[in-house]
Structure 1
């Protein structure tokens, strides 16, 4: 079962970019953890100060390892020190993943390979 984490974090617009840059070692540490398939922060192009977060984990055990590991705790300190004003981050379980485009290159909203 794949676990996806998606959401956003709000910071003062003048500090959002530096928050990502300063978090780089912690982001890289997460990417080196077992079961971490993706861990990314990106600036929102339409809402100043908003950072979008995306993570993909192979299992609940891998995600728990991440939560118990020092870089996760350090990230919390980093976010609090950076003046985060609001956030919404959720986790999602996924039991099926397949391409958006079929063999003819047509985007499909239905699940067509299962």
Structure 2
């Protein structure tokens, strides 16, 4: 079963772009990692303190292996809130089926 890790994290608005930029190295490395189907970390277009996280992995084992070797972000900030959750996917299909 594939695994999706998704949701927002919240930081001070003044820190948001630095946080996203600091995670670029993680996104680039994850996208090259075998078993990574997609990773995106992006600033929210409406909320200046929100960073949207999306990760899609072939399996939990691949995700665990990635976490063991993932590079650290080049910058970070204190999280005000974290609503990121892991979802184990039993079925995948076209969104309009």
Q: Please give the TM-score of this superposition, normalised by the length of structure 1.
A: 0.76
Q: Aligned ranges for residues 13-28 of structure 1 at < 5 Å?
A: 13-28=13-28
- State the Cα distance separating 1:22 from its structure 2 match: 2.3
| CA-to-aligned-CA distance 1:58-82 (integer Å, 9 cap, x gap) | 01110001111141xx14x843xx2
Tell whether the 8 Å contact from 2:18 to 2:75 is kept in structure 1 after alignment: no
Report which structure shows greater RCO (CA 8 Å, sep ≥6): 2
Q: Structure 2 residue aligned with 1:90, among 63, 72, 85?
A: 85
Q: Aligned ranges for residues 97-112 of structure 1 at < 5 Å?
A: 97-102=92-97
Q: Please give the TM-score of this superposition, normalised by the length of structure 2.
A: 0.87
Which is greater in Rg?
A: 1
- State the Cα distance separating 1:17 from its structure 2 match: 1.3
Structure 2: 5+ residue runs without aligned partners? none
Structure 1: 5+ residue runs without aligned partners? 103-114
What is the root-mean-square deviation in Å for CA atoms of aligned residues? 1.7
- State the Cα distance separating 1:6 from its structure 2 match: 0.6
Alpha-carbon distance change, 44 to 70 in structure 1, aligned in 2, over 3 angstroms: closer
Q: Where does residue 61 of structure 1 map in the other structure?
A: 61
